[in-house]
Amino acid sequence: MKILLATESYYPNIDGGAVAQHNLTLELKKQGHEVCVIAPGSTYKNKIEKDNGTTIYRTKGVKLPLYMKGRYHFSIFPYFQVKKIIKNFKPDIVNICSPYPIGISAYICARKQGIPVVGSIHILPGNMITPFHKLKNQERIENYSWRYLVYFFNLVDWATIPTKTGADMYKERGLITNITPISNGLKTDLFNPKNNGEYLRKKFGLPKKNIVLYTGRINEEKNLDVLINAIPHVLKEVDAHFLLVGSGGEYKENLIRLSKELNVIKNTTFTDFLDWDDYPNIYSIADVFAMPSEAELQSIVTMEAVASGLPIVVVDKGALHELASMNNGFVFKSKNSEQMAGSIVKILKDEKLKKQMGAKSLELIKDHAMESIAAKFEKIYEKVLKKHSENKNR
């Protein structure tokens, strides 16, 4: 099968969607499919890259200055380049992974060329409006974002989304196209309890005490002020150190300032994103993984923590609770720093509970292996192709 993925964020970006799409692409290639990806480049030039047997077409890209210090790039008027790529590659199916210029262009071109389209949803309105958090009428902006997302994904032949919770959210907002929950999946050969990150403890000067870890983007949508406000409550009960790994702009600076105001900066370490070789190892030095973000359709980083055998403490909004469904962690109420702290303390004070939860995490992650995830996507592609062929022959 010839499969084309169209996305606005791809490897080496490390947001959840980019990681999931990269893993899926490589696994589909491993299963014998011919796969190509269209994604923004980091320069104002079109170029072609090769990655483990897959082809990545990079369209002209410009930096997003208001988002993540310009780490991310956005495609500008990619339609004609996308049209050329699809015409030359002649895919059997197009999988659109983001509702932005590349995805929109791929949809239009696929429809014009009679190619069926699958839409993979990796986004909630909270992810879209982060760069505009200072604007007024946030609720109205969020509602417009919902309307656009539902409209766009109602255009495709079939939709996928990482969780049942996510599927229900979209259906409640008016999604009527067929939608199937399929996990983002995870490379358990990379993320597992066998990793050793003690060298990272030394590198960052971390104390040999309980480590509460967060990894991922450090911006408004992640609600990390809830975690920082939980730290004083934790320290009243147990000695611990908090490690936040990820890049961010003004919001990260605000969190550092808040840590100083709460007098917990000595118990807190902020680092930038890690190199890919180091990243899986950071989980091995942690005792608990904490995630207060309310805009998660699944959360790749939380899955990485689960695969590493960590107990997790997650918020009750979005789909995070699905990753704590085997008694492998605690779920706390939205924006409730004290309850979050209480959950962290329970785990850190009880070594037996911590080990039990860690074992349950390893049990839960078995359902998210990339081989089975790719097989589920194959079934969706085959189903859509069959339906497309039947409609064509009528």
Looking at the structure, do residues 206 and 168 belong to the same domain, yes or no? no
Looking at the structure, do residues 323 and 341 belong to the same domain, yes or no? yes
Looking at the structure, do residues 229 and 268 belong to the same domain, yes or no? yes
Looking at the structure, do residues 134 and 75 belong to the same domain, yes or no? yes
Return d(Cα 389, Cα 384) in angstroms, integer: 9
Region for residue 74 given its phi and psi (left: phi exceeds 0; alpha: psi -120 to 50; beta: otherwise): beta
Residue from 301, 344, 333, 236 nearest 16 by CA: 301
The sheet that has 288-291: what strands, in order across it?
Answer: 268-271, 240-245, 210-215, 288-291, 312-315, 329-332
Show the domain range for 310.
Answer: 198-367
Per-10-residue mean pLDDT for the chain, 394 residues long?
97 88 97 98 93 97 66 85 98 97 98 98 82 71 94 99 98 98 96 97 97 95 97 98 94 97 98 93 99 95 98 98 98 98 99 98 96 97 95 78
What secondary structure letter does DSSP report for 369? Answer: B
- State the residue for tokens 């189903």: 383
- Residue 268, classed as helix, strand or coil, is strand
Indicate whether 192 belongs to any domain. Answer: no
CB 69 within 8 A of CB 249: yes
Give the total number of structural domains in the chain.
Answer: 2
Confidence (pLDDT) at 278: 96
Q: Which residues contact 30 (CB under 8 A, 6 or more apart)?
A: 374
Could you tell me the two tokens for 35?
């796969």
* Residue-wise pLDDT tens digits, 253-268: 999 999 999 999 999 9
Looking at the structure, do residues 148 and 165 belong to the same domain, yes or no? yes
Confidence (pLDDT) at 265: 98
Confidence (pLDDT) at 134: 64
Looking at the structure, do residues 103 and 247 belong to the same domain, yes or no? no
- Residue 10, classed as helix, strand or coil, is coil
Indicate whether 218 belongs to any domain. Answer: yes
For the full predicted model, state whether its pTM sits above 0.85: yes
CA distances to 81, 115, 165, 322, 325 from 316, rounded to whole Å, are: 42, 39, 11, 10, 12
Indicate whether 193 belongs to any domain. Answer: no
Q: Residue 155: how many CB atoms within 10 A of its CB?
A: 16
CB 240 within 8 A of CB 209: yes
Confidence (pLDDT) at 74: 80
Confidence (pLDDT) at 316: 98
Confidence (pLDDT) at 132: 60
Q: Identify the CATH number of the domain in which residue 55 sits.
A: 3.40.50.2000
- Residue 298, classed as helix, strand or coil, is coil
Phi, psi dihedrals of residue 212, rounded to the nearest 5°:
-105, 120
Looking at the structure, do residues 262 and 128 belong to the same domain, yes or no? no
Looking at the structure, do residues 77 and 224 belong to the same domain, yes or no? no
Looking at the structure, do residues 138 and 280 belong to the same domain, yes or no? no
Indicate whether 319 belongs to any domain. Answer: yes
CB 319 within 8 A of CB 296: yes
Residue from 101, 96, 104 nearest 121 by CA: 96
Looking at the structure, do residues 243 and 257 belong to the same domain, yes or no? yes
Return d(Cα 357, Cα 64) in angstroms, integer: 40
Indicate whether 128 belongs to any domain. Answer: yes
H helix or E strand, kind and range, residue 141 = helix 138-153
Return d(Cα 381, Cα 96) in angstroms, integer: 12
Indicate whether 269 belongs to any domain. Answer: yes
Indicate whether 150 belongs to any domain. Answer: yes
Could you tell me the two tokens for 55?
């082809």
| Count of alpha carbons within 13 angstroms of residue 110, beta-carbon side | 25
Strand ranges (DSSP E) for the chain?
2-6, 34-40, 47-51, 54-59, 61-63, 73-75, 93-96, 117-120, 158-161, 179-181, 210-215, 240-245, 268-271, 288-291, 312-315, 329-332
CB 149 within 8 A of CB 123: yes
Confidence (pLDDT) at 76: 85
Looking at the structure, do residues 329 and 353 belong to the same domain, yes or no? yes
Confidence (pLDDT) at 130: 61
Indicate whether 191 belongs to any domain. Answer: no
Looking at the structure, do residues 204 and 255 belong to the same domain, yes or no? yes
Question: Which residues partner with 330 through β-bridges?
Answer: 313
